[in-house]
Chains A and B, each alone.
Chain A
Amino acid sequence: MSGGTTLENANPVVFQRSGDRLLTSNEEDEDVHDPIDEREIFDLIRSISDPEHPLSLEELNVVEQVRVKVSDAESIVGIEFTPTIPHCSMATLIGLSIKVKLLRSLPDRFKIDVHITPGTHASEEAVNKQLADKERVAAALENSSLLEVVNQCLTPTRSI
């Protein structure tokens, strides 16, 4: 993206991955309706790869379960993500990847809001505005080189 050969944040702090969601008996019961909850949304986005590192957004603590808000009944999803450093030029790209992942994985009825955790990025407002603008998101995905990077972030990594 910004094209440099050097990494912006060459030595990030790595956080532990959470384990798989534990299977409950309710989830195996045909008759129970499982609502879409925070953990489920978090499971969708935590494995997205960082554009710079072979690490997931969860391992870099860019996304956290507490920063996921969801209401199945009202069909609303809100995500806050935290760039690793305040000047991270990848912030827009990370936001876009999260947005695209959710667009592909959630039913149409959901309204998806992705923005930066307040106070964690230098150009927070600009990025939030870009991510909220449907037209711009659609236009970005028409750009094949941008789509390529997003797809790479969304390609499932083989779990180690």
Chain B
Amino acid sequence: MAADSTLLLSLVEEFVSGLQDSKAKDTATCVKDGQFTVLQLVEALGLSLTSVQPHTRARGVQLLSDVLHDCYGGLTEREVEVLIAFYEDRLKDHYVITPPVLQGLRALTKCTVLPPGSAVSMLRSLFQDVHVQSLMLTERACVYNMLINLMATREAELKGVGADFVFGFVQSMDGERDPRNLLLAFQIARTIVLRGYDLGKFTEELFEVTSCYFPIDFSPPPNDPHGITREELIQMLRDVLTGTPRFAEFLLPLIIEKLDSDVQSAKLDSLQTLVAGVSQYEHKDVAEFLEGLWASLRREVFQTSSEKIESAGLAALTALTSCLSRSVLSSDSEDSLSTFLELVLKDCKHHLCEPDLKLVWPSAKLLQAACSASNRASHVITDAVMPSLIEQYNSRAQCSHRRTLLEVVQRFVQSVRTCENEESVFSAFRPSLCSMVFSALTETNASLQVTATSVLTSLAQHTGLLLDSDVELAVDHLTRLLLTEEDHRVSLAVVECVGALAGLHPAAFITKLIPRLKAEMFSEPMDENDNGAAPEKHSHHAVRQRCLSALAAVSTQPSVVQESTPVLLEVLSSAHAGSVVFSVEEVVSACRSLQRIAEQVEDSEETGRCFHDVIIPRLLSLALQAALQGEGSPGRRSPLLEEAVLSAMVPVISTSCSRLQPTLAGQTASRAVSLFLDGDVSFLPDNSFPSNIQLLKKQPGDSWSRSQMVCLLLGCVCSLPRGVEVPRLDLLMTELEEMSCTCSCPLSYTSAAKCFAGLLNKRPQGDALDGLIQRTMKRVCSELDSASSSVRTQAFTLTLWVAKALLLRYHPLFTTLTDKLFSLLDDADLGPAAADGFSLLMSDSADILNRGCHADVRIMYRQRFFCENSAKLVRGFNAAPQEKKPNYLKALSNIVNKLPKQVQVSELPALLSLLLEALSCPDQGVQLSTLSCLQPVLVDPPPALIQQLEALVSRLLALTSSPAMSVRTASLRCIHAVSCFPEHEVLPFRARVLRALARPLDDRKRLVRREAVRARAEWFLLGSPGGS
């Protein structure tokens, strides 16, 4: 015990007289360990605490406070009581003692055993004896933290004090300047406001002391260690100011005043604060300020200086209106909503009727903002505005005016949301709105028609607004436009509108639109011998195209799909049979429409059956019929033999297999496998096929029509979700490999190679996979290595696709294949193809090996490939003979082109000399791809590039006289980009560039001239007064 007390005394001595701050920690540890109690510490401190030197007393208190800071948890209630009494007394002492006293009190406020009444007495003496704002920053923070701690645990006690507490707080924060402390002070004020402390007669004082910071204008110093942002302060202060309706009478005039400010951020903040405020207020809080607020809001929207402020102003108007709509009215109060809306209407409505329609947009936006606030407001506004808008529309003759009015109407219709099971606001105007839309649809002005379609779409969104008869009439109008209107914009808008309407009213489209479109498509164009046939045929072709895209657009509901897909299938079968003449392009469009339907339709049992049981078998059957017919008769060729048509069928099948009903997709895949392996045609409709059709075996006479069907197999088996198994996979892959290495038809061997790669990519990791890859590689390498082999191209194609399949999934065997591809760059025949192949490796292919097909694609495979291989490529380039160098450059630009820009910029310095070399390479393809990969880099040039500016500019200027137009345009674009380099770097080139660009101004191609003009204009402005 004696030892302990000596230890304690020495610790105290060292801290107080020796000024060793670390001893406080040691003391605290001892107290925590129970070596001595706080009481013993106070006893030991006795001398220091009663010293006549204020600094000694301060040190003594400091030690006690530091210890309490660490040990407040272990105190008893009695101890706390004594300590508080001690500290409260110390507050009256010399000012140097105040800081440690405050720290001690703060520690005590964290005690859970605070005796009742002590919180209040602590605060009383604090507010009485300390002038907070004359304290230092950290002590002020200490006071705020005390308040925060007490408010968190002793709310009831503090509320018992009444308004004095608020007054004390107001006094202590009055004049606070430091943002860190302000955050704390705002936090306290927010709690006072939100937790319902009694503000008494100090409401205005509390508002004043916080609102004087509004709007917050604070920009943190650079490298601010405290990380306080302007947004934090704004949000905190906004919470305080808008926290209670009692502030409304002070806040609203303040907002009106601040909206007069010229500072944009102040306006924005005021408007956002207004929105936050009125969401809490009732009508009586805002009633007397409505006129002032409206005047300010109107001014902000009418004389808007920025879009942000305009939209904030509109949001504020909406919030204000919905505040007024929400209020419960007593019998004697006036209806402030209708008063306010009268005000709005009085100022805005007449602008909608002015002859020149100049202020129509701001007025309409204001009205729409008010309109969207509540059901009642929308009734009032639409009742007042719609009749005059409709009348205006009917009386105006100018198309541009009518279009403006129609657009205004559209925004009104869109701004009002109809609630469930409630009559739409527009019901009363339905007939006149419909007749307005239909009359606009019959106009000849294209933009009027486009606007009318969007009004129609918006009207249809109001459930229950349009009657069936209206929808039918609309369908008639839309059908007529679809069939007759040549304007591209109109037909796009009509197709879009048809799509939106069909989702809501499928019945009218099934009974009217689809039969009409079908009839139109199957009608024969005018007699072909007729002299005027060419334009007629052209327009008939255009009509068919529009019909096909409309059929796809309407098919979002399963019931519509059931009706529309048979029409599309019939187009294909008639085209095959030749009963109705369809061009290849039209057949392709029909396939595209099917594909679009498969992409957009909801994945349900019904649609799944439709695609897997009807459409896919039908497509396979038609293709097979065409293939067999093509072998037999040399006469008319079915369009279904064309590569374009087959390639368009593939995505129909693969989209259905990837996203519709996995079980059915699995069934489709196994049917397709048995069709291709065994010639099992039992599931195909129109089954009159000969037995024993072998689709994957080499055909006698090398006929390609049957073998190219393998691309449809690709659609069936390569895009299945990962969990769906393909039956007899090994046999299938062997056959595909055989076919891809032996077949001579490009479509067939490429499709087989792709199909093989697609299956390989999804096979699970393991020895089986490795064995398969090695076997395949051995085969292709032996073909590639024998220069006389007739199937080198085939082997190369397979190598490339296998390489891609493995690259995507990071398979370790990939590197062997890459090395093979790099070595092929030196090959006399396959070199250019190998260089192009890198583009295929690096880009996403549309039909296979992408994420949509559920392929195994790792992230950032391109970067990885680039990082692993760029050095190899540079080495190969340096070692290659001169005539092979272009292949390397081409491969390089193909790879770099596809990399994300961030990677390009960071990797560029190493490759820059190679890329500049590529610019002077005579191959136009290399020039073009290098230019297109340089251009994005030039926007934000790395330093390495600026060092090479001379070489860059002279090469670019040389390319402006290239024989290829695309190279000329691309190089001019790059020269344009160079003008944005740091001015002092490019200014020396100005005269030279301007002289050189005079020539392309007289280029024979307009597109080149356009780029030259743009580039030259920028270079003229460079370094010139008033230039950028």
Contact = CB atoms under 8 A, between A and B. Distances in A.
Report if A and B associate in a common complex.
yes
Interface of A: 13, 16, 23, 27-28, 30, 33-34, 36, 40, 43-44, 101, 104-109, 144-145, 147-152, 154-156
Contacts of A43: 1010
Nearest to A105: B1013
B1024 A27 contact: no
B998 A44 contact: no
A74 to B, nearest CB: 14
A28 B1026 contact: no
Contacts of A148: 1025-1026
B226 interface: no
Contacts of A152: 1026
Interface string B356-373: 100000000000000000
Most B CB contacts (10 A, CB to CB) among A13, A107, A109, A148 go to A107
A148 B1006 CA distance: 29
Contact of B1021 (A16, A40, A149, A154): A154
B406 to A, nearest CB: 16
B964 interface: yes
Contacts of A154: 1017, 1020-1021
A144 B1025 contact: yes
- Chain A interface helix/strand/loop/mixed: helix
B1009 interface: yes
Contacts of A145: 1025
A33 B1008 CA distance: 12
A27 B1026 CA distance: 34
Given A107-B998, A108-B998, 16 more contacts: A16-B400, A30-B965, A33-B1004, A34-B1004, A34-B1005, A101-B1017, A105-B1001, A107-B1001, A145-B1025, A148-B1025, A149-B1026, A151-B1021, A151-B1027, A155-B1027, A156-B1017, A156-B1018
Interface string B862-885: 000000000000000000000000
Contacts of A27: 1005-1007
Contacts of A156: 1014, 1017-1018
Given A30-B964, A104-B1016, A155 B1028 contact: yes
Nearest to A107: B1002
B552 to A, nearest CB: 25
Contact of A147 (B965, B1004, B1017, B1024): B1024
Task: Bin the interface of chain B by size.
Answer: 20 to 34
Contacts of B1024: 147, 151
Going nearest first, the 9 A-B pairs with the smallest beta carbon separation are A148-B1026, A151-B1026, A107-B1002, A148-B1025, A34-B1006, A105-B1013, A33-B1004, A152-B1026, A144-B1025
A147 B1020 contact: no
Most A CB contacts (10 A, CB to CB) among B998, B1005, B1018, B1021 go to B1005
B1001 A147 contact: no
A34 B1009 CA distance: 10
Given A30-B965, A107-B1001, A44 B1027 contact: no
Given A147-B1026, A148-B1026, A150-B1026, A28 B1007 contact: yes
17 contacts: A13-B356, A30-B965, A30-B1005, A34-B1004, A34-B1006, A36-B1006, A40-B1006, A40-B1009, A44-B1013, A104-B1013, A108-B998, A145-B1025, A147-B1024, A148-B1025, A150-B1026, A151-B1027, A156-B1017
Most B CB contacts (10 A, CB to CB) among A108, A144, A155 go to A155
Nearest to B1025: A148
A148 B1021 CA distance: 9
Contact of B1026 (A16, A34, A106, A155): A155
Given A145-B1025, A155-B1027, A104 B1006 contact: no
Contacts of B1014: 156
Most A CB contacts (10 A, CB to CB) among B400, B1009, B1018 go to B1009
Contacts of B356: 13
Contact of A104 (B400, B964, B1004, B1017): B1017
A6 B1005 CA distance: 45
Interface string B19-56: 00000000000000000000000000000000000000
A43 B1002 CA distance: 16
A28 B1007 CA distance: 8
Contacts of A150: 1026
A36 B1014 CA distance: 16
Contacts of B1027: 151, 155
A120 B1021 CA distance: 31
A110 B731 CA distance: 73
A106 B1017 contact: no
Contacts of A40: 1006, 1009
A96 B1006 CA distance: 25
B1013 A155 contact: no
Contacts of B1026: 147-152, 155
Contacts of B1005: 27, 30, 33-34
Contacts of A44: 1013
Contacts of B400: 16
A104 B1015 CA distance: 11
A138 to B, nearest CB: 15
Nearest to B1020: A104
B488 to A, nearest CB: 10
A108 B998 CA distance: 8
A107 B1002 CA distance: 5
B1002 A147 contact: no
Nearest to A33: B1004
A135 to B, nearest CB: 21
A32 B561 CA distance: 46
B1021 A147 contact: no
A147 B1006 contact: no
Contacts of B964: 30
Contacts of B1017: 101, 104-105, 154, 156
Given A27-B1007, A105-B1013, A109-B1002, A155 B1025 contact: no
A58 to B, nearest CB: 16
A151 B1020 CA distance: 9
Interface in B970-1028: 998, 1001-1002, 1004-1007, 1009-1010, 1013-1014, 1016-1018, 1020-1021, 1024-1028
A124 to B, nearest CB: 27
Contacts of B1020: 104, 154
Contacts of A36: 1006, 1009
A28 B965 CA distance: 9
Nearest to B1014: A156
Contacts of B1010: 43
